[in-house]
Amino acid sequence: MGVTEVDRVQLQPGTQRPRAARVIGGRPWQDPVLDRACDAVGERYLRVGAAALWETRADFELRSLRVEALARAAVGLSAGIEALLAQDPNNPDLHLWLGRTRVEEAWKIRPEARSRSMQAGVYQAFTKALNSARVPLRTAADLFPDDPVPWESMLWLALGLDADVEDKDQIWRKAVERWPTLYGAHVARVITLSPQWGGVAEEMFDFARVAMSMSAREDPRAALIPLAYFEYFVQERSSIIRGASSWFSDEEIRDVEAAARGWHEGPRPHPRTVEAHNLFGAAFHLGDARRPARNHLARTQGRPSSLPWTYLGGNEEDQYLKACKHLNVLSP
């Protein structure tokens, strides 16, 4: 976790004042329990992470967020989760956490596609690590059949292994049969359908728009629209992107504006609300729509998410701070 001290946030009328007076990288949420659990896991107190997952069995959106965050916090510590499982072998939370951690550990060592021929050993290690996640994720799904989150994690497994389209489609169906609105699964599906991963742009955008059209007003799946644009840009425009003005055209930013108008975070924000504000804020920033960019970035509460800022290259915190300072969201 990176921390950068800043002073205050400039707010447009009608925005809520953020509490944070610092930038906290890698934690795009407002969940104090998850903050404490990630801290504890980083200090190898893995039982705290297990308890934080146990609390989510009746809230799959929260479960999706927490297992993703705790898996990233536990990269390199999967053997410790295995040790907990040896003491409690029928615990679906531990199988889920172990499987997702192995997925995250694998993606940490994934070689660039253009370098695979020169890094055959690393690519073999990557695929071996991904395959090691299969059994714990399947076991988690068997032990807790109603849980969509193991299937969400298997979407990332299938993506990394370049599974057949039919296999990816089947995993997707398993996830949404259990929880049709699962935000994390929808993010994985957008990326699976993107040109960057062998998909077709039209199908990716159609999927994002249909999901948004079926969303309740307080459902952050509206943010799938800017996500789809970022996925499209890094594949289709990577050779021409030279600055902010080369990202979004006027027509494209109007599409993002329409999506943003259809979403209202409501009195009980969704666990992925901060991520959605990051996606909208970055898109508006790159589309030179300054006022909505400021409003959305102020609502991120100083917590950048890896998507979309890593699309811009470099460190997510650096890109986030650069945008905030450009928009006078963070004053020097």
pLDDT band at 238 (very low <50, low <70, confident <90, very high): low
Nearest to 34 by CA among 14, 8, 55, 6: 55
pLDDT band at 117 (very low <50, low <70, confident <90, very high): low
Per-residue pLDDT at 313 exceeds 50: yes
Are 37 and 48 within 8 A, CB to CB?
Answer: yes
**For residue 15, how many other CB atoms are within 10 A of its CB?**
15
Mean pLDDT of 26-51: 97
Per-residue pLDDT at 13 exceeds 80: no
Instruction: Write out the two tokens for 196.
Output: 């960057």
Per-residue pLDDT at 243 exceeds 90: no
Q: What is the pLDDT of residue 242?
A: 45
What are the percentages of helix, strand and coil residues in the chain, rounded to 5? Answer: 65, 0, 35
Mean pLDDT of 156-181: 97
b/e code 133-142 from CB counts within 10 Å (16+ = b): bbebbebbbe
Whole-number average pLDDT of the chain: 89
Weakest-pLDDT range from 12-16, 95-99, 173-177, 310-314 = 12-16
Per-residue pLDDT at 236 exceeds 80: no
What Cα–Cα distance (Å) separates residue 134 from each residue in 85, 122, 138, 141, 169? 16, 19, 6, 11, 17
pLDDT band at 79 (very low <50, low <70, confident <90, very high): very high
Nearest to 282 by CA among 322, 315, 234, 314: 322
Higher pLDDT, 266 or 66: 66
Measured torsion, CA atoms of residues 221, 226, 230, 236, in degrees rounded to the nearest 10:
110
Q: What is the pTM of this model?
A: 0.90
pLDDT band at 116 (very low <50, low <70, confident <90, very high): low
Per-residue pLDDT at 261 exceeds 70: yes
Nearest to 146 by CA among 23, 78, 58, 206: 58
Weakest-pLDDT range from 70-74, 106-110, 182-186 = 106-110
Q: What is the pLDDT of residue 100?
A: 98
pLDDT band at 5 (very low <50, low <70, confident <90, very high): very low
pLDDT band at 15 (very low <50, low <70, confident <90, very high): very low
Mean pLDDT of 88-99: 98
Q: What is the pLDDT of residue 246?
A: 62
Mean pLDDT of 23-44: 97
Mean pLDDT of 278-289: 95
Q: What is the pLDDT of residue 121?
A: 77
Per-residue pLDDT at 239 exceeds 80: no
pLDDT band at 21 (very low <50, low <70, confident <90, very high): very low
